[in-house]
A and B are shown apart, each in its own frame.
Chain A
Amino acid sequence: MSGASVLYDVPGPKAKARNRIYSVIGALAVLGLIAFAILRLDSKGQLDPEVWRIFNYAGVRTSIRDGVLTTLQVFAVAAVLSLALGVLLAVARLSDHKPVRWLATGFIELFRAVPLLITIYALWVILLTNRDALGLTGSQPQFWALVVGLTVYNGSVQAEVLRAGINAVPKGQREAAYALGMTKTQVMTTVLVPQAIRAMLPTIISQLVVTLKDTSLGYIITFEELLYTARLMSTNIIVNGNDTYIPVITVIGSIYVAMCLALSALANWIERRGRRARTGIGVAPAAEPVAAADAAEPTGPVADAPVATKD
């Protein structure tokens, strides 16, 4: 935050008084907006105690708990699979064999360019129509459509992150490894990939936060994760003749934000910890790799990330 103070002088008595006035006006404006929203909600009867008492029912609590567990289950499976796919695709894209390289590049670029929702939807339709042949029952088509969709999209993004990390390892490391007589596989698995993963860990975790957020797309293919459970509850529980969108969305939203913040905090902690260590290549900032569908761009979206540890 050292950049902030350079934009303005240290406030003197007059500026301090002016800033205080701005503070009061700004605070009043925000409070006014909040008060307006609360009054409007109150006039619709959305703030009555009965509306919020629904969270005392065991059924509601069980539904929320099951929703959280389902979301976490999808997240866990998709995270593991996408990391595995990411390593595989990154190594394939750096392969010496042209067909392998082209195949990996095509896969990565296609699935990064297509909206995840459309991939998930297409997978869902395919799984639903072949449900009997694949032996899927109940909500399994939705589950696997969501998991596979998240895996191919996030695997492609993770592959680009890892590739940037592998490319950031100094050339001397690779050359030294080859000079010691290591095979290509040994160089990749024992020298390059471990350093790339270590350097890119904050970025990888930030992308896992995206994976966690994207599990909510299960809502659209009617998979009963946290958000769909919330939707079902808010339309089914009627209090005073109103649906209960506002309390349910408030609670579910807080749960989502808390889960994502916890994961983001982990990424930031690892980044800070990595910056202390003076060995190996620098640790990338915990910024989310914004997935650009830029096939023409030679480097990945975070190709220059590992050096950006200056602030």
Chain B
Amino acid sequence: MNVLLDYLPEFRDGFLGTLAITASAALLALVLGVLIAGFRVSPVPPLRVFGTAWVTVLRNTPLTLLFLVAFFVVPQIIFQGASPYVLGTLALGFYTSSFVCEAVRSGISTVPLGQAEAARSLGMSFSQTLRLIVLPQATRTVIPPLSSIIIALTKNSAIAGAFGYGELFNVSKLLNDKGYAIAWIFLWTALAYLVVTFAISGLFRLLERRMGVAR
């Protein structure tokens, strides 16, 4: 009768799968997002154009289409025979990087102008100004939107399940095929996602509190 207790190992594996792909995609998205945000404010025009194009295209592409690209086009070019985990991470990470980039960019614009001006008057270069002065101060304003972005990423990772990666959506599909009532499967999967998203928002709230230095 109880789906959760009967298939606890499957649920556990699915849960861990969701965590794994969320973590790796979040890492990729953070690195790429900060890099592209740096491009978008850099003094070199082609880099700015590249950053703008990156964000515009990726934000306006459905994630499912990106998954199709990752699973059917990317292996033709590079990464032949890569696992669904790697390809799913690529699709999710690239998609989310455009949102991270926008969050970081708006964070950069909230740092008081005087900070960057002072850094420049000390003779710092663009990359020094950005790395040592502006980005550390932008972190504080970037964290709340980042929390929402990572939560959205967790939910988007369900699409990876439809492309054959073992995570919670995949588990609910499997159990439905075995003939269990979808209502219970839905409830338990929803609960599992709630656990992950609450953990993420709690983690970010902790970060926010630690970084929230009185100015």
Contact = CB atoms under 8 A, between A and B. Distances in A.
Interface stretch (B2-10, B28-36, B86-94, B112-120): B112-120
Interface residues of B, number: 67
A265 to B, nearest CB: 10
A293 interface: yes
Given A9-B120, A213-B62, A122 B182 contact: yes
B96 to A, nearest CB: 11
B158 A118 contact: yes
Interface string A212-230: 0111110110000001001
Interface stretch (A190-198, A252-260, A272-280): A252-260
B148 A292 contact: yes
Contacts of A209: 60
Interface residues of A, number: 67
Given A121-B176, A256-B62, 15 more contacts: A6-B120, A7-B129, A19-B44, A41-B76, A113-B190, A114-B155, A122-B186, A214-B62, A217-B64, A227-B65, A234-B72, A252-B65, A291-B151, A292-B151, A294-B201
Interface of A: 3-4, 6-9, 11, 15, 19, 22-23, 26-27, 30, 36-37, 40-41, 44, 46, 110, 113-119, 121-122, 125-126, 209, 213-217, 219-220, 227, 230-231, 234, 243, 245-246, 249, 252-253, 256-257, 260-261, 264, 287-288, 290-297, 301, 311
6 contacts: A37-B77, A40-B78, A209-B60, A216-B65, A217-B64, A249-B68
Interface of B: 40-47, 50, 56-57, 59-65, 68-69, 72-73, 76-78, 99, 102, 108-109, 113, 116-117, 120, 125-126, 129-130, 134, 145, 147-149, 151-152, 155-159, 161-162, 168-169, 172-173, 176, 182-183, 185-186, 189-190, 193-194, 197-198, 201
